[in-house]
With several copies, the nearest count.
Chain A
Amino acid sequence: MNAFGKYLIIANYYFYEMDIEILAFGIAKDIVNGSSFTMQLPAESTVGSLKAQLCATYPDFERLASFAIAVNEAYRQDDYTISDKDEVVIIPPVSGG
């Protein structure tokens, strides 16, 4: 593989987008106005980039005390990579108990 071929592959990743179904609970439901919605994300997006895009689209997320992202029923750090079959959930500050 030469440098040109490598560039093409990178370009290919960059332009490929995936539709991610996102679930919302608690106040996140009010912010996105629904309990689920679809977001287009670049392939290989991370939890960190999803959070940035959520804040850009819905500025009210920045006003929360905190918010986390769960992927496949577990909390994930910002560097976690999202795939298009994943179950992605917005977790605003919890208040059980």
Chain B
Amino acid sequence: MIDIQLKDVPLSTEECNQLVAFAGAGGTVVFVGTVRDQTKGKKVVRLEFEAYKPMAISEMRKIAEVAKEKWSADKIAIHHRVGVLDIGEIAVIIAVATPHRKAAFEACEYAIDTLKETVPIWKKEIFEDGEVWVAAHP
């Protein structure tokens, strides 16, 4: 069960948890990324996420396939939000269920680390006096 979604409506941890739940699970590990209220002390008003959708989905799927291959994590949900997000809203949820919980921890951490490096999604932080594409410049 691999469930990859890019959604422009709020994400649900309950939904992701239920998607990956299976009768033989030793545990489910869920990573939840939320919108921070500040960057380097500067107040963030809101965020905008933009994705190159077909490739974002295929890159997230690749991550899930590697997790399945390497940690037998064949129950994995990766949901990412796009559009305008307010402070405290959930930007990403990664849920992994495995027979042994150690594998779920490792696969989930691999998935979020890799997502942040390879998935073509971009975050723009909007401040009171301007905006910036996160990580664009060195």
Contact = CB atoms under 8 A, between A and B. Distances in A.
A97 B123 CA distance: 9
Interface string A59-97: 000011100001001110000000000000101111111
A18 interface: no
Given A26-B136, A63-B137, A74-B58, A91 B119 contact: no
B94 to A, nearest CB: 9
Q: Which 5 A-B pairs have the closest CB atoms?
A: A96-B121, A26-B122, A95-B134, A27-B133, A27-B136
B55 A92 contact: no
Contacts of B49: 96
Nearest to B82: A96
B65 to A, nearest CB: 14
A23 interface: yes
Contact of A70 (B50, B55, B80): B55
Nearest to B62: A74
A74 B62 CA distance: 11
Contacts of A23: 52
Contacts of B56: 96
| Size range of the chain B interface in the assembly | 20 to 34
A95 B122 contact: yes
B122 A25 contact: yes
Interface string B59-80: 0000000000000000000001
A82 to B, nearest CB: 16
B25 interface: no
A65 B133 CA distance: 12
B135 A93 contact: yes
A66 to B, nearest CB: 9
B104 interface: no
Given A25-B50, A25-B122, A97-B92, A92 B116 contact: no
B54 A96 contact: no
Given A64-B137, A92-B122, A97 B52 contact: no
B117 A26 contact: no
A95 B55 contact: no
Contacts of B135: 65, 93-95
A93 B80 CA distance: 17
Given A65-B137, A73-B58, A95 B123 contact: yes
